[in-house]
Structure 1
């Protein structure tokens, strides 16, 4: 996640986050809770919607011991008196899916996920990318990422396995266009790419509430990255297309409930800020290439004004390549392998 320094005039109707083990009532039958994360982004938002005699839960948090203990506190606190009947997990990242298997086992809840996100979780839990380690290292080396940073990003596989519990054997697949009846109201499933393949979102037009997951958040933008298994992917294009579709459908005064940070109103302004942020990064990349051919690794210190630890340098690489691939598709850059085996970028107008 990257911080966007652009001044913002968003409206924050709930400026104080919920305390550990407590909930904030956003509307009748709609609760906001938080779970701590052992990361720089130190929390994930969890939402609960009254659903008849039970609770519909939005996201599960990480599957580590502190999160499971926090869930016990919530189940015996603000969620007490109603069973958890359904759990919708937005995407396969561990801070959202990690505790899903445990929570479903603890409560008997049905798991709902987009099929691609469910299968990605299964693939990563199974460690099925281990057999590509050599090729993945070559991918990073050819594009100028130093070995320690490559080690930092490739070494995340075991962390995923440690923080994501076994998923239920069966789940309910959801997709864009589905309508879920929750608490007697129709909630419309939407999906968006970029940060994840098909992140689930929910839109309730009567109450004007949009569960946006990590697709639209205040102050930060989700990591939009390219990974070794799909080197020519264009997740930034997918992300910007998703933002345009959200702006076209969701009114500006809707209450946005994000996966991290605070709920807010001012959706269209926030989308404009996100679009401007990524356009600025693309402009910086083009300017950096003025001096001549550059690898992706060469670009990182020109885009990030601070020293990055190895894992963060790996994420910065993924984000930089995402912007580069969009510029290649637009015809602004060419990515060629040179005589020394390194891939470098050239401006097409040079």
Structure 2
């Protein structure tokens, strides 16, 4: 895609995909427009950058919109989704909608990016076994959310699970999926068998599932449970935030589930009897990562270990740092890959 205009295409009748550039290796995000008889619903907004503002300003003046944008809907709180929402809301005088749990997390990250949040984040990373300059570097990154988002909407409307949105393309139901964020909202159109999946289900990469200082106690369990529930949908195509529109819905859910199961097996079979999160990371990620990627890698490693500890497969000593005890190594047993048992999904917050 080019960086001098927003790429827009009608992918299904009344459903448009916008491609907005990102300054990362993942170089764009897919946004969506749902047409209605008297306006549009915008799904996600892009990262808050000068380029994004210029592209949005040009697009809004391009003549594409002969009807107004009625509402901005956010699948979740991450900067590439929420970033431009405040600017667009002000420019267009339209409301912004997001789930309650994701809005709570967004305001926490926004309000704890300075010295007030240092103690919270220092304790969080100390639990993982970080010390010295490594600890300082991770704590310093707590301010990245505010730097990337730059502005939160002054107020929002709350999306509740199973709320409905009515458009020319049919009725869309909001489906909660915890894990990647506290209460990610996908949009499900049962008539057309279409799912706007946001970051919850991606066709070629796996969404990061991290343990944060607040929010989900066991994010990976929440995520895997949610995938089990989503697999019951009779979905023909899913429309992701990153990657191509895809039709391998159940196959992709199985691939992601087995991906995490393989990480469980790697941890259980390769790690010593006693270890910290820091010591476990090289088992499933490269330790030679830049700081911002290490932040996600540590968070996801911790999420895997908490999942195993909650299921009784590891024991956890809650001293600082957390110390995990691996009974498989004590007993010379072998952990085998298996799908997690289906459980009823509970509210994430």
Q: TM-score, normalised by structure 1?
A: 0.87
1:256 aligns with 2:235: no
Distance across 1 between alignment mates of 2:170 and 2:321: 56
Contact 1:144–1:295 (CA<8 Å) still a contact in 2? yes
1:211 aligns with 2:196: yes
Distance across 2 between alignment mates of 1:321 and 1:218: 24
Q: 2:177 aligns with which of 182, 192, 199?
A: 192
Q: Which residues in structure 2 correspond to 1:1-350 (within 5 Å)?
A: 20-77=5-62, 79-127=64-112, 130-183=115-168, 185-229=170-214, 233-248=217-232, 250-252=233-235, 254-289=236-271, 291-305=272-286, 307-336=288-317, 342-349=321-328, 350=330
Distance across 1 between alignment mates of 2:151 and 2:36: 26
Residue 131 of structure 1 deviates from its aligned partner by 2.5
- CA deviation profile, 1:282-333 (whole Å, cap 9, x unmatched): 11110123x3211111111222246212222221111011010110011111
Residue 22 of structure 1 deviates from its aligned partner by 2.4
Assess, with a 3 A threshold, how the Cα gap between structure 1 residues 155 and 332 changes in structure 2: closer, same or farther.
Answer: same
- The runs of 5 or more residues in structure 1 that have no matched partner are 1-15
Distance across 2 between alignment mates of 1:31 and 1:17: 18
Distance across 1 between alignment mates of 2:168 and 2:119: 50
The aligned length equals 329
| Structure 2 counterpart SS, 1:72 | helix
| Structure 2 counterpart SS, 1:56 | strand
Assess, with a 3 A threshold, how the Cα gap between structure 1 residues 312 and 146 changes in structure 2: closer, same or farther.
Answer: farther
Contact 1:236–1:322 (CA<8 Å) still a contact in 2? yes
Contact 1:21–1:77 (CA<8 Å) still a contact in 2? no
Residue 337 of structure 1 deviates from its aligned partner by 5.5
- CA deviation profile, 1:166-209 (whole Å, cap 9, x unmatched): 33433221111111112262111111100100001110111121
155-164 vs 39-48, which moves further: 155-164
Assess, with a 3 A threshold, how the Cα gap between structure 1 residues 138 and 174 changes in structure 2: closer, same or farther.
Answer: closer
Question: What residue number does 2:345 align with?
Answer: none
- CA deviation profile, 1:19-44 (whole Å, cap 9, x unmatched): 94221210122111111112232211
Contact 1:333–1:345 (CA<8 Å) still a contact in 2? yes
Distance across 1 between alignment mates of 2:70 and 2:214: 36
Q: TM-score, normalised by structure 2?
A: 0.87
